[in-house]
Amino acid sequence: MPKAAKSRVVRRGFASMTRKQRTLASQKGGSNVLPEKRTYARDPELAREAGRRGGLAKAARRSVVDGKADR
């Protein structure tokens, strides 16, 4: 019986990779897309707006977790 089956833990994705494999996979992120095709590289205003929305969403989640859901 495989070791993973005994402990009922199945390691998938990055958890199943060695550190070197994770590093190599991470370095490839986005490399298939040409720089001029990357949306945020072409439109800095769009990137700023996305960052702002992400920050607002994070703050909203934090207030709900902290019990300050007054929005």
What are the extents of the domains in the chain? 10-65
Buried b (16+ CB within 10 A) or exposed e, 26-57: eeeeeeeeeeeeeeeeeeeeeeeeeeeeeeee
The Cβ of residue 70 has, within 10 Å, a number of other Cβ atoms equal to 5
Angular region, 9: left φ>0, alpha ψ -120 to 50, beta rest:
beta
DSSP class of residue 29 equals: T
Calpha distance 30→37 (Å, rounded): 11
- In this prediction, residue 18 carries a pLDDT of 93
Span 17-68, pLDDT tens digits: 999 999 988 888 767 777 777 777 778 888 899 889 988 888 888 877 776 6
Residue 71 pLDDT: 47
Does residue 69 surpass a pLDDT of 60?
A: no
More confident of the two residues 13 and 36: 13
Looking at residue 57, its pLDDT comes to 87
